[in-house]
Amino acid sequence: MLTFAILLPFAGAALLASAPLSAGQSRLAAILVAALSLGALCVVWAGFIPGAGFQAVQEAPWIPPLGVAWRVGVDGISLPLALMSGLLFVAAIAWPMEREVNARAYYAWFLFLEGASLGLFLTLDLLIFYVFFDLSLVGMYFLIGRWGHGDAPRAALKFFLYTLAGSLLILLALIALVLSVDPLSFDMRDMIALQPVAGMDLRAGLILLGFVLGFAIKTPLFPLHTWLPPAHVDAPGPASAILAGVLLKMGTYGLVRIPMQMLRETFATYALALGVVALASILWGSIVAFAQDNIKRRIAYTSVNHMGYAVLGIAVAGSAVTGQEAARDLALNGAVIEMVAHGLITGALFLIAGSIWARTGTYEIDSYGGLAGRAPRLMGAMGLASFASLGLPGLAGFVAEVQIFVGAFAVWPWLAAIALLGLIVTAALFLGMLQRVFLGERPPALDGFADLTRTEFGVLAVLLGLVVLIGVWPAWLIDMIALGGG
């Protein structure tokens, strides 16, 4: 079933690339394929037993001498991420195109990217993980470069090269890691069970460094985040939503799956350092976001802040502070929920930013004002997403952040206490943006501004509905993750 969920979008992409379909037909076909893929994931979810390790496993040998095989399976960490990604892809594909050129190729690339993304979250083989990691760059590169606006080719290239450098580091670390097991194996489960480099100081440290740097670029963490804002600003809205919602999660998911789980001992040694970097991301991301006058840049920098929370949770979870197992589980819980919540919330925010651009052609906050009167539904969606992003209780972001903070405090009190300051800055920056774009006097140029269309509203309603659901009733998601006592 998981294999089906991964291969279906690839097949869909190939179909769209070769079959002569019209723009409307391509869109419908792409929505159908993405929805089927999501449906397959839901089937797996229906049979999923929380807390029982990897499930729905499928295995087919591929390169037996190297121990490479097509292995897929899910646990409580990858399933929520895969489901969220599947949903976000349906949303992004259903969202109207910004520049309606070459629709067939646009949807084909989206499906290609979906296949790569789902593959990354679902595979249990390190080599295949790496392949999907790189394929996702390719898909996003074309989406930004061809359907973006402004200086899109340049932004796309920067994104590609910067993250490619990260993925090369991952490749090196991966080879070094795999070479240390005998017989050769790329099976993630083996790696988690064997802890291959435990006790090898220098070598384990270098491998860890390679992975962490690579994933830190992708996440992105301070100070390796400067590829993110231009990529977002010039990307079309739906691609931005996927970039923030799905691709950034590859970095944090990778951190959990590989360094934290496979290099447990080494990771614990350096967990505090990672926590400090996460803290820097939390503060730097929010402070720099505060000073941005461009809607998309502002949201993009808040991603650095939010991913900082997630990495803080991961660092806490991976620290081997004894006697704090419950706190570490809580923090990891929070980190996984942060990933899901950030995907839904920031995905929605970028879709909204895209819809604003589609109507006026600018992201400059100062050219707006008073839109609430013309576009109450847009205001409602943006308000809800903004408050969710700044961590209002009753919405998904709070559920994640409170667990991360509480867990982190038990392990590193000072770090957690300082990280709280991020909450203030994000509150100020989101409310400032809402106020400047939607409230106050409306410039006459915006008199013809149209509210959300039915499609846009429907898509946002689904995403934000989930944000509210997780916020008021988080138990189902926490149970799915099922860590520790849960």
Partner 1 sequence: MLFALPLFPALAGLAIWAAGDGGRRRLGAMAAGAAAVTLLLAVLATAQGWTAGHDWGAGLVLRLALTPLSAAVAVTVPAVAVAVLVFAAAHEEARGLARLLGLMLVFCGAMLLAVTAADLLTLLIAWEVMGFCSWALIGHRWRDRANPASGRYAFVATRLGDLGLFLAVMATWAGAGTLEFAALGRLDGPALSLAAFGILVAAAAKAGQGPFAPWLFRAMDGPAPVSALLHAATMVAAGAYLLARLHPWLAPVPGWSGATLALGLVTALAGGAVAVMQGHAKRLLAGSTSAQLGLMFVAVGAGYPGIAVAHLVAHAAFKAPLFLAAGIAGRAAGSYDLGRMGYQRTLPWVAALTAPAALALAAVPPMGAAWTKEQIVAAASHASLWSGVGVAVAGALSAAYAARFWWLAFGPRGAEPETRPRRAEIAALGALSLGCVALGALWLAPVRATLRFAPLDAGAAEMALSLGLVGCGVLAGLTLARRGASPPPVAADWLGLPALIQHGIVAPFERAARGAARLDDTVLDAIPRGAARGARGLARGGRAVWGAMQIDRGGIDAAVWRIAEATRGLARLGGGHGEALADGLPEGTARIAGQGGADARRLQTGLSHHYYAMFVIGTALAILLLIGGLV
Tell me which residues in 150-209 interact with partner 1 (CB under 8 A). Answer: 153, 156-158, 161-162, 164-165, 168-169, 171-173, 175-176, 179, 202-203, 206-207
Of residues 208-227, which lie at the interface with partner 1 (CB under 8 A)?
Answer: 210, 222-227
149 or 203: whose CB is closer to partner 1?
203
Q: Which of residues 230-269 bind partner 1 (CB under 8 A)?
A: none
The count of residues in the chain is 486
Minimum gap (Å) between residue 72 Cβ and partner 1:
23
The span from the CA of 464 to the CA of 457, in Å, is 10
> For partner 1, which stretch binds (CB under 8 A), given 25-33, 307-315, 340-348, 430-438?
430-438
For the bound state, the minimum distance from the C-beta of residue 1 to partner 1, rounded and expressed in Å, comes to 26
* Interacting positions 27-46 with partner 1 (CB under 8 A): none
| Backbone angles phi and psi of 369, in degrees to 5 | 155, 145
Q: How far is the CB of 231 from partner 1 (least distance, A)?
A: 12
50-109 residues in contact with partner 1 (CB under 8 A) are 105, 108-109
Site string for partner 1, 433-472 (x = CB under 8 A): -xx--xxxx-------------------------------
| DSSP bridge pairs for 58 | 72
Q: What is the distance between the alpha carbons of residues 49 and 59, in angstroms, rounded to a whole number?
A: 20
Which residue from 127, 416, 460, 463 is in contact with partner 1, where contact means CB under 8 A?
416
Q: Report the distance separating Cα 345 and Cα 364, nearest Å.
A: 21
CA dist 9 and 36 (Å) reads: 9
Among 131, 181, 431, 446, binds partner 1 (CB under 8 A): 431
Stretches 52-60, 62-70, 274-282, 414-422: which one binds partner 1 (CB under 8 A)?
414-422
Q: Lay out the site mask for partner 1 across 330-349 (x = CB under 8 A, - = otherwise).
A: x--x----------------
125 three-state secondary structure: strand
- Residues contacting 97, CB < 8 A, separation 6+: 27, 103, 106, 147, 236, 238
| Rounded-to-integer distance, Cα 377 and Cα 163, Å | 36
> Which range binds partner 1 by CB under 8 A, 116-124, 241-249, 418-426, 451-459?
418-426
Instruction: Output the CA angle 278-284-285, nearest 5 degrees.
Output: 85
Site for partner 1 in 111-150 (CB under 8 A): 142, 145-146
The smaller minimum CB distance to partner 1, of residues 72 and 178, is found at: 178
For residue 333, CA distances in Å to 9, 124, 302, 400, 414 come to 29, 21, 21, 8, 21
Q: How far is the CB of 202 from partner 1 (least distance, A)?
A: 7
The nearer residue to partner 1, 32 or 475, going by C-beta atoms, is 475
- Report, in Å, the least distance between residue 226 CB and partner 1: 4
Touching partner 1, residues 357-386 (CB under 8 A): 369-370, 372-373
Q: Which stretch binds partner 1 (CB under 8 A): 10-18, 53-61, 308-316, 455-463?
A: 10-18
Tokens of 34: 């993405």
Q: Single out the residue of 427, 446, 461, 469 in contact with partner 1 (rule: CB under 8 A).
A: 427
Burial of 138 (0-12, 13-18, 19+ CB in 10 A): middle
Task: Give the number of residues in contact with partner 1, rule: CB under 8 A.
Answer: 87
* Residue type present at position 322: T
Closest CA to 253 of 193, 185, 340, 180: 340
Which window, 56-64, 315-323, 324-332, 347-355, contacts partner 1 (CB under 8 A)? 324-332
Burial of 202 from C-beta contacts in 10 A (0-12 / 13-18 / 19+): exposed
CB-nearer residue toward partner 1: 287 or 462: 287
Q: Report phi then psi at 260, rounded to 5.
A: -70, -40
Burial tier of 232 (Cβ tally within 10 Å: 0-12, 13-18, 19+): buried
